[in-house]
Structure 1
Amino acid sequence: MIAAPTTAGETLVSENTEGHQKFDPARDAKKDLHEAIDLGIKSNKRILLDIGGEWCIWCHRLDSLFIQNTDLADFLEKHYVVVKINVSKENKNEKILSKYPKVPGYPHFFVLDKNGKLLVSQDTGELENPKGAPVKGHDKKKVFAFLKKWAGK
């Protein structure tokens, strides 16, 4: 389950991989961020910027972690407004991303307070299962610990 602001400023929630919020090069990341800040203020939630692209297998693996673990997805929805910011050949979103630290790889998280102030830049490679683990992907416990640490409230 992935939560993201819609144009109406509501939270969009999808429960399956077919309908989850995608990295869309046509989206206006600046507008999405402003809507997320408005929603963050109204709902007293932190903002999670999820930086990546549809070309990124690790981005899909991270999405799958949330889709397959409703407890993780529910926590994310309860405490964060999620904005997916696309980085691809079609749209690198350089202008908006220039406001934040350089991203070493994808996916990447930035956690902002409800007013849009950067709290942490997180390389999600540090949240992956160890090399040689039977399943390639992100470690649920590490992701959950990260989200809990930065959730506020």
Structure 2
Amino acid sequence: MKKMSLIALLALSSLAFAQKIDKIDKLEKVKNSNDKALLVKSDAADLEAKKKAAAEEKAKLPKPYNPKADAQSDINKLVAQAKKEGKNIMIQAGGNWCIWCLRFNQYVQSTPELKKLVDKNYLYYHLNYSPDNKNEKVFTEYGNPGEKFGYPVFIVLDKNGKMIHVQQSDVLEEGKGYSLEKTKAFFNKWIPQKS
């Protein structure tokens, strides 16, 4: 009988131990679930803060894209001007909705050596892509580079209007902005060739 009681006691102890482990597991799951909920709330708050900061930055930057422009007509005029001036045409495709497009424009305009390099060698055009005006015909003519690379994307035309290069912009980035050396190298590589 003592053996039976001992076995019963061991069985009850094992059952109680298993129930305690199960309870601990459940508490751990609840804790992990709460931790995940806090993490999700924290991530959501971080995301909202980043969105707000980007919106504030975007509001302060110049808006160089004109959704109402007749892009084909504008580019035709630039080709005629480029022939006279011996410059290439730098098309920065994107839109006022695109923070990186606005950042690049601001970076070039506010960095004296880049502005001088661009003004000397290029006629610069901001080709709009937005819900208001997707400029589908113009983008198709250049192989729809925004679909492949995103925005901004750069289309370089020679003085005769022939496309000589398409450049994605992410290779010019550094941190939360653009690299001076990479951007200068890009502009220098596509300056007009002297005949």
How many residues are paired up? 131
Q: Gapped runs of 5+ residues in structure 1?
A: 1-17
2:177 equivalent in structure 1: 137
TM-score by length of 1: 0.81
Contact 1:46 1:151 in 2 (8 A): yes
1:110 equivalent in alignment to 2:150: no
1 or 2, which has the higher helix percentage? 2
Render the CA deviation track for 1:105-142: whole Å, top value 9, x for unaligned: 1111010100000100000111111xxx3xx1111111
SS at match of 2:78: helix
Equivalent residue for 1:94, pick from 103, 112, 136: 136
1:121 equivalent in alignment to 2:148: no
2:67 equivalent in structure 1: 25
SS at match of 1:116: coil
**Stretches of 4+ moved more than 2 A in 1?**
18-21
CA 1:128 to 1:92, structure 2 compared with 1: closer, same or farther past 3 Å?
same
Q: Gapped runs of 5+ residues in structure 2?
A: 1-59
- Higher RCO (CA 8 Å, separation ≥ 6 residues): 1
Contact 2:87 2:123 in 1 (8 A): yes
Shift of 1:21: 6.7
AA at the equivalent of 1:120? H
CA 1:64 to 1:19, structure 2 compared with 1: closer, same or farther past 3 Å?
closer
TM-score by length of 2: 0.64
Shift of 1:67: 2.3
Shift of 1:149: 0.6
Shift of 1:152: 2.2
SS at match of 1:23: coil
AA at the equivalent of 1:146? F
Contact 1:50 1:109 in 2 (8 A): yes
- Residues of 1 paired with 2:123 and 2:94: CA distance? 17
Please identify the structure whose Cα radius of gyration is greater: 2
1:10 equivalent in structure 2: none
Equivalent residue for 1:52, pick from 94, 98, 107: 94
- Residues of 1 paired with 2:134 and 2:178: CA distance? 24
